[in-house]
Structure 1
Amino acid sequence: MKEGILLKGIGGFYFVEANGEIYQCRLRGRFRQEEKEFLPGDRVQFREIAPGQGVIEGILPRKTKLERPAVANVDQVIIVMSLGEPPPDLELLDRLLILSLANGTEPIICWNKADIAKEEFIGLPSLYQGLGYRVLVTSAKTGQGIELLRETLKGHISTFAGPSGVGKSSLLNAIQPGLNLKTGEVSRKMGRGRHTTRQVELLVLKEGGMVADTPGFSRLYLPEMKREELASYFLEMEPYESQCRFHSCLHRTEPDCAVRRAVEKGLIPRHRYEHYLKFLGEVIEAERSY
């Protein structure tokens, strides 16, 4: 019995990577009868029945599952923002950070276009690093930070996220020429037709690791949570929450709020606090529909 990672399923075939080889597999009969869901990223057990062919006999427990795109076992999300044009959308960034953490994945902020960074944005990487997030500074054009990004992707299943125009495709192409074409080896094997439904595929990196070929988080609604839980996704608020007078403090208008004091003293970035208040309103509104 072999163990591998499912790259893609299409037309009843499932393509599995194991030890550098790709196997075209079918599902064992009972899985078809159960209509069990198999996703790119699933770790599966399969039996080789001929060179390059196999039958999937089992699936290992998932560590994470993203909904859109539907992919399993992603363990890190590379959130790409531009230091030039388009200007960084910090509200979107903070939203993506929450989505990543809530899905059990590690967010890594990749500040791209360092070669054309605008002066007003130069301090953002160190600001977010100081808040407790992992940060990379890259330029797909000059190659700055690309080797470190490659190292970051090794041994992980990753997805890229971020607004259009920030250079996600250019970064993928800098990491490994051809990745930005969104056609991995599985697609070439299958000869994807014009009417084939678009599905997520994991692309295998030559130097190790896998990347989903579809940007992460096509839906940007905040995950279902209690209003008291939101502050825990703002890493810099944690040291102050325990100092608030009320245990259930939402850090809005409550008296003796240590978080608000920290904002006034400049210990918590004001834009982060303003985003927290906006997101809190969304969470409270969503609670009414649960």
Structure 2
Amino acid sequence: MQGTVYRSTGSWYQVKTLDGGFYQARMKGVFKMDEDITSTNPIAVGDIVEVVEEEKEAANAMITEIAPRRNYIVRSSPHKRSHKHIVAANLDQAVLVCTIKEPRTSRGFIDRFLVTAAAYHIPAVLVFNKKDLLKEKDREKFLEMADVYTDIGYPVLLISAAKGEGITEVQEMLKDKVTLMSGHSGVGKSSLINQLLPGMQLRTKEVSGWSGKGLHTTTFAEMFDLPDGGQIIDTPGLREFGIIDIPKTELSHYFLEMQPYITQCQFNNCLHINEPGCAVKAAVEEGEIDTDRYISYATILETIEEERY
């Protein structure tokens, strides 16, 4: 039987089969992965798998095969910085829930998320929550940020999950797609999901009673079916998105607004910091590339070595 992994605790997996049934499944032996990756989790939420029902327990199954992934998105493992932790697989898009205040989502965090999504060829969307808390200066700050990211090509929404404002736009954006939903703790991601999934609060409480040993609801991703079609994959509140396996010379390729200028640099391996004849730096000086985005680029570039090794 073919199914999709909806939840993972690292040793047990909840798999939904094509007929709509759910199984608690274990992995059979060690899988040879198609991707040449060093991952702390061989199976991720969103994976398409083959399962065989176990005779003793009708609700239990064994995962015998993992289908090749269309794509996946990773972060650095919380346990081994040099290893990847696959957050989710087979995605149509990735949504980052952000806030201008209470708490403020830093530009650095947003840009790291966007770089990671671009590196794995996953379209990204920014959803700014807590619209109801914004005063005039906060709204001006949002409009400035929205202009920067929409000019690059990223969709930006402003909503209030608490007030139910902008939920229709979010529903339209999610319809019939598999969407990763992430964000810092405190940005209201759970409130947004509760708006999208009636009864979600009850289901969230039930998670802790699920049979997987060592289940930590703040650690593992989980997929949910949307009422109007499509799925969302809820991820835990992330403190950071570690940039891994991206060589310094490739980082600028994942800042989408830098792409048109990269080939115009004097040197092929230009890092766009101190090199002469750098078209990217010239574009920053001329206002073609946002200064804060360039600062994010330079900051991430400095941290790549320690995150890779």
What is the TM-score when the length of structure 2 is the normalising length? Answer: 0.76
Among 223, 244, 248, the alignment partner of 2:269 is 248
Trace 1:65-104 onto structure 2 (pairs within 5 A). 65=72, 66=74, 67-68=84-85, 70-104=87-121
Among 28, 32, 40, the alignment partner of 2:28 is 32
**What are the superposed Cα offsets for residues 118-151 of structure 1, whole Å, 9 maximum, x if unpaired?**
1332312232011121222222133232122122
**Which runs of 5 or more structure 1 residues have no equivalent in the other structure?**
none
C-alpha separation in 2, matches of 1:136 and 1:114: 10
Q: CA deviation at 1:271?
A: 0.7
C-alpha separation in 2, matches of 1:195 and 1:225: 34
C-alpha separation in 2, matches of 1:237 and 1:20: 46
Q: Do the aligned partners of 2:47 and 2:66 also contact (CA within 8 Å) in 1?
A: yes
**Residue in 2 that maps onto 1:119:** 139
Q: Do the aligned partners of 1:69 and 1:214 also contact (CA within 8 Å) in 2?
A: no
**Residue in 1 that maps onto 2:215:** 197
- Specify whether residues 184 and 71 from structure 1 end up closer, same or farther in structure 2 by C-alpha distance, changes over 3 A only: farther
C-alpha separation in 2, matches of 1:207 and 1:248: 47
**Residue in 1 that maps onto 2:169:** 148
Trace 1:194-233 onto structure 2 (pairs within 5 A). 196-198=214-216, 199-215=220-236, 220-233=241-254
Matched to 2:69, the amino acid is R
Matched to 2:119, the amino acid is A
**What are the superposed Cα offsets for residues 173-208 of structure 1, whole Å, 9 maximum, x if unpaired?**
1112333566388x49xx426964224332222222
**Residue in 1 that maps onto 2:15:** 16
Q: CA deviation at 1:113?
A: 1.9
Higher radius of gyration, 1 or 2: 1
How many residue pairs align between the two structures? Answer: 281
Matched to 1:16, the amino acid is V
Q: Over aligned residues, Cα RMSD in angstroms?
A: 3.3
C-alpha separation in 2, matches of 1:88 and 1:15: 32
Which shifted more, 142-151 or 59-68?
59-68
C-alpha separation in 1, matches of 2:263 and 2:12: 53
**Which runs of 5 or more structure 2 residues have no equivalent in the other structure?**
33-41, 75-83
Matched to 2:28, the amino acid is R
**Residue in 1 that maps onto 2:81:** none
SS at match of 1:202: strand
Which shifted more, 88-97 or 11-20?
11-20
C-alpha separation in 2, matches of 1:182 and 1:245: 56
Q: Do the aligned partners of 2:25 and 2:62 also contact (CA within 8 Å) in 1?
A: yes
Among 281, 286, 298, the alignment partner of 1:260 is 281
C-alpha separation in 2, matches of 1:246 and 1:10: 47
- Specify whether residues 48 and 195 from structure 1 end up closer, same or farther in structure 2 by C-alpha distance, changes over 3 A only: closer
C-alpha separation in 1, matches of 2:87 and 2:51: 22
SS at match of 1:91: helix
C-alpha separation in 1, matches of 2:9 and 2:188: 29
Identity of aligned residues (%): 34
SS at match of 1:155: coil
- Specify whether residues 108 and 216 from structure 1 end up closer, same or farther in structure 2 by C-alpha distance, changes over 3 A only: farther
C-alpha separation in 1, matches of 2:86 and 2:30: 23
- Specify whether residues 255 and 20 from structure 1 end up closer, same or farther in structure 2 by C-alpha distance, changes over 3 A only: same
C-alpha separation in 1, matches of 2:203 and 2:86: 14
Q: Do the aligned partners of 1:69 and 1:217 also contact (CA within 8 Å) in 2?
A: no
Q: CA deviation at 1:101?
A: 2.0
C-alpha separation in 2, matches of 1:112 and 1:285: 33
What is the TM-score when the length of structure 1 is the normalising length? Answer: 0.81
Matched to 1:113, the amino acid is K
- Specify whether residues 193 and 4 from structure 1 end up closer, same or farther in structure 2 by C-alpha distance, changes over 3 A only: closer
